[in-house]
C-alpha cells in the first residue's frame, strides 16, 4: 500500500462534522466514498482534526492508503471529480512515507474564527461568519486574549463531552485582528496550538465576544481561567465562523 497526504478544503454547513457517521453526511464519508470509486472496497482515512458540525476547513490534512501508484496531481483531480457536488475539494496531494500520520505527525494546528459585527442579516457569507448586531471593542478583546496564552489547565474552556486525558494545553497564539468592510467590522481570531480540547476555540471566542461587547472586563477572562470550572466560561460561539486553517508538520508534505 502507498500513502498519500491530502490537503482538504470544505464548507462544513451541510455536514454533521468531519467524522464518518452512519446516518448523517460527513466530510470523511464523502472522501472515502470518492476513494471507493477509484479503488473499489472500503477506505478509512485519518485527519489532523475532527471538526464539528458546521465547522469549515481551509487547510485540513488527511492521509489515505492506496494500492495503485498514483500521480498525486491525477489523484487529486480524480477525487475532485467524484466529490461533486459536495462542497469538498482536494487542493493538494502528495506521496508520503508510511510513518506519516495526518494527526500524530502534526506539531501545530491553526484555527481562524470569523466574527462579523453588523446590524443587517447576511446574504453573502451566510453560514461563513458568526454575526452579532452590536459593536465590539477589539482592544478589549486583545487584552482578554493575553490571559489565555501559555500552558494552563483549560477546564473552563473545555466541553463537558471532551475525551482528552488532560485539560492542560499550551496555547501558542491568540491574535485578534479587526478588518473594516463597507457593511460592517470583521474580527478574526487566529488561534494556534499543538492540540486543542473539544470546543476550546469556540469557548475562547464566545468569552472574548462578551469582553468586546463590554459585558466582561478583560481581567474577567483570567478569573474564568483560574476557576477551572466550565460554568465560569462565557457562551460558546456557534460553529459557522470556525475554520481549520492550517496544519503544521516538521517536514511539510506539500512543499514542492
Residues identified as active-site: 52
Rounded CA-CA distance 206/137 in Å is 14
Q: Cα(15)–Cα(11) distance, rounded to whole angstroms?
A: 8
Q: At what angle do helices 138-146 and 200-212 cross, to 10 degrees?
A: 130
Torsion of CA 129, 134, 135, 136, to 10 degrees: -60
Question: Of all helices (H) and strands (E), which one includes residue 219?
Answer: helix 218-227
**The three cell numbers locating residue 241:** 465562523
Tell me if 211 sits within 8 A of 144, measured CB to CB.
yes
Decide: 204 and 196 in contact? Cβ < 8 Å.
no
- What does the block give as the cell for 87? 462542497
Q: Are 178 and 127 in contact (CB under 8 A)?
A: no
On whether the CB atoms of residues 113 and 244 are closer than 8 A, the answer is no
Amino acid at each position: 500500500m502507498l500513502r498519500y497526504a491530502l490537503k482538504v478544503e470544505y464548507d462544513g454547513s451541510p455536514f454533521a462534522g468531519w467524522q464518518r457517521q452512519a446516518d448523517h453526511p460527513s466530510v470523511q464519508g464523502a472522501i472515502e466514498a470518492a476513494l471507493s470509486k477509484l479503488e473499489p472496497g472500503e477506505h478509512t482515512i485519518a485527519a489532523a482534526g475532527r471538526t464539528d458540525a458546521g465547522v469549515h476547513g481551509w487547510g485540513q490534512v488527511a492521509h489515505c492508503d492506496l494500492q495503485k501508484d498514483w500521480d498525486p496531481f491525477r489523484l487529486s483531480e480524480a477525487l475532485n471529480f467524484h466529490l461533486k457536488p459536495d462542497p469538498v475539494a482536494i487542493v493538494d496531494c502528495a506521496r508520503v512515507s508510511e510513518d506519516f500520520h495526518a494527526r500524530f505527525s502534526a506539531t501545530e494546528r491553526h484555527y481562524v474564527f470569523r466574527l462579523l459585527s453588523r446590524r443587517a442579516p447576511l446574504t453573502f457569507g451566510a453560514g461563513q461568519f458568526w454575526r452579532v448586531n452590536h459593536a465590539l471593542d477589539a482592544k478589549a478583546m486583545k487584552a482578554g486574549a493575553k490571559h489565555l496564552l501559555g500552558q494552563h489547565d483549560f477546564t473552563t474552556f473545555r466541553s463537558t463531552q471532551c475525551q482528552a486525558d488532560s485539560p492542560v494545553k499550551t496555547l501558542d497564539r491568540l491574535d485578534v485582528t479587526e478588518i473594516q468592510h463597507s457593511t460592517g467590522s470583521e474580527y478574526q481570531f487566529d488561534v494556534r496550538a499543538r492540540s486543542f480540547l473539544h470546543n476550546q476555540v469556540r469557548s475562547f471566542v464566545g468569552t472574548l465576544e462578551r469582553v468586546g461587547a463590554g459585558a466582561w472586563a478583560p481581567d474577567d477572562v483570567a478569573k474564568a481561567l483560574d476557576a477551572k470550572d466550565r460554568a465560569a466560561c462565557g457562551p460558546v460561539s456557534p460553529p459557522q465562523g470556525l475554520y481549520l486553517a492550517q496544519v503544521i508538520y516538521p517536514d511539510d508534505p506539500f512543499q514542492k
